[in-house]
Amino acid sequence: MLDKAYRDIQSQVHPDRFAHAGDAERRASLQWTTRVNEAYRTLKSPVQRGKHLLELQGVDVAFETNTAMPAEFLMQQMELREQLEEARDARALDALRAGLQKNKRSLEGEIADTIDAKKDYKGAADLVRKLMFLERLDEEIDSGYEALE
């Protein structure tokens, strides 16, 4: 659905449609395409999408200021990071990533349920923050692969 809407709009506003148009139209096209790309990126990323949907409900996820997380979750994160540091080959990284992907999927499901069904926006904000931690770990796994090469 999202992909289709994105493509439909892009096919209306993309600069390629206006390469032979006047400056005014080219400028408007550039601005619109930029906005559409930004919107698509926001809605496509589970963390950004969650943050945006919660903002629409007046709840600020506050990644930067609110770093208080349950102790149990933090312990688990620290363990995962230790495993990452100890990972010496691609196989170990693959295993870490597979586990992380599973965790992310289930957390994303939980967020959708908390927002859509339970309408517990405060609770959802905590979950989105957790998801953000997992995404950071994902990025660190990427750096792990790069360090191997």
Partner 1 sequence: MALLQISEPGQSQAPHEHRLAVGIDLGTTNSLVATVRSGVATVLPDANGRPLLPSVVRYLNGGKTEVGYAAQARQAEDPKNTIVSVKRFMGRGLKDVAHVESTPYDFVDAPGMVQIRTASGVKSPVEVSADILKVLRERAELSLQGTLSGAVITVPAYFDDAQRQATKDAGKIAGLNVLRLLNEPTAAAIAYGLENASEGLYAVYDLGGGTFDISILKLSKGVFEVVSTSGDSMLGGDDFDQRLFCWVVEKAKLPPLNPRDMRLLQVRSREAKEHLTLHGDAPITAKLSNGELVDLKIDTETFCSITQTLVGKTLGPMRKALRDAGLAVDDVKGVVMVGGATRMPQVQRAVGEFFRRDPLNNLDPDKVVALGAAMQANVLAGNKPQGEDWLLLDVIPLSLGLETMGGLAERIIPRNTTIPAARAQEFTTFKDGQTGMSIHVVQGERELVSDCRSLARFELKGIPPMVAGAARIRVSFQVDADGLLSVAAKESTSGVEASVTVKPSYGLADADIERMLRDSFEHAKDDVHARALTEQRVEGQRLLEATKSALSQDQGLLTGEEREAIERAMRSLESLLAGTDHRRIKHAADALNRATEDFAARRMDAGVKRALAGRKIGSL
Q: What is the smallest separation between the CB atom of 72 and partner 1, expressed in angstroms?
A: 29
Are 124 and 52 contacting, i.e. CB atoms less than 8 angstroms apart?
A: no
- Segment near partner 1 (CB under 8 A); pick from 13-21, 65-73, 74-82, 118-126: 13-21
CA distance 63 to 82: 23
Does residue 28 touch partner 1 according to CB under 8 A?
yes
Report, in Å, the least distance between residue 42 CB and partner 1.
10
40 interacts with partner 1 by CB under 8 A: yes
Asked if residue 67 binds partner 1 (CB under 8 A), the reply is no
Closer CB to partner 1, 27 or 74, in the complex: 27
Q: How far apart are CA 75 and CA 97, in angstroms?
A: 18
Cα 92 from Cα 97, distance rounded (Å): 9
31 C-beta neighbours (distance < 10 Å), count: 11
Q: Does 142 bind partner 1 (CB under 8 A)?
A: yes
Contact of 9 with 36, CB cutoff 8 Å: yes
Largest CA distance in the chain: 59
Decide: is 74 part of the binding site for partner 1 (CB under 8 A). Answer: no
Give me the residues that bind partner 1 (CB under 8 A), please. 1-2, 5, 7-17, 19-25, 27-30, 32-34, 36-38, 40-41, 43, 53, 56, 116, 142, 145-146, 149
